[in-house]
Amino acid sequence: MKRTFSLPHLFLYFAVTVFLAGTLGCAWMQDKSMTRATPQGLYQQGSELYQKKKYKKAITVFQRLKDEYPLEDVAVLAEIGIADSYYSNKEYPDAYIAYDDFVNRHPTDENIPYILYQMGMCRYNMVDTVDRDQSETWKAKVEFERLIARYPQSQFAVMGEKMLLDVKRMLAENEFYVGQFYFKQRKYNAALKRFEQIAKEFPNVGLDYKVKYFIAETRRLIAEEESADKKRTKKLEQAPNI
């Protein structure tokens, strides 16, 4: 589940570059310590700490900016900075809460598609192995589906579709794992229910061929068992009473 890029790093890089370019102007001429006492200076400081992977310190600075300058536009970016810092530090539950809080506080903000994508990624990164409970996997599915439904034209929706496919594959693999367990235990009706559920809910995720095989094989074994049961019943009925 490791990714080859860090989206929060990219987001903060562009956010700080665009924001500071439009607001600092000739601030480079000011004393550095004075600059950092401003909202823009605090945001720059937090972003620099983030880029250096000093996430806990970045959170402290972003939180200070949020607390001291709550009405500044850059305070909104600081909220994202806090969530991204938690995420990059692999504190996914805290990151999810921070992203969710942002959605509730700023439901129409232009960064909402990104936030929804990150909420899905938080859930995705908390997914357990295929033989364990898949609650987080189902939650990740919900998050990516919400993103795609609400912002279908967003670049993050395209990224969300790729992640959704992977999430569905993981859910299908879990169902297949359980189905095989029942199959090996000769509980064929329970196994068939799992295999058919995969075919219905998770087609085209890479399991179609073997799921189709196990459905056919399980049905054959169920038919054999039913036939054997009928023969035993008939034999008992025809046996002479002693």
- Of 20-24, 76-80, 81-85, 87-91, the one with minimum mean pLDDT is 20-24
Asked whether the beta carbons of 167 and 140 are under 8 A apart, the reply is: yes
Please give the torsion angle defined by the CA atoms of residues 65, 71, 73 and 75, in that order, rounded to the nearest 10 degrees. Answer: 20
Asked whether the beta carbons of 15 and 80 are under 8 A apart, the reply is: yes
Task: Determine whether 163 is exposed, middle or buried from the number of CB atoms within 10 Å of its CB (0-12, 13-18, 19+).
Answer: buried
pTM of model > 0.75: yes
Amino acid 236: pLDDT: 74
* Percent of the chain predicted with pLDDT > 90: 76
Tell me the backbone φ, ψ of residue 206, rounded to 5 degrees.
105, 0
Q: Model confidence over 51-60: pLDDT tens digits?
A: 999 999 999 9
- Of 13-22, 60-69, 117-126, the one with minimum mean pLDDT is 13-22
- Of 19-23, 28-32, 85-89, 100-104, the one with minimum mean pLDDT is 28-32
Amino acid 23: pLDDT: 45
Asked whether the beta carbons of 95 and 83 are under 8 A apart, the reply is: yes
Reference 46, options 8, 14, 16; nearest CA is 16
Place of tokens 């900075």: 81
- Split at pLDDT 50, 70, 90, the class of 10 is low
- H runs (alpha helix) in 24-108: 32-35, 39-51, 55-68, 73-88, 92-105
Sign of dihedral through CA atoms 44, 48, 54, 55? positive
Residues 146 and 116: their CA atoms lie apart, in Å, by 8
Does domain 7-126 fall under CATH 1.25.40.10? My reply is yes
Asked whether the beta carbons of 115 and 99 are under 8 A apart, the reply is: yes
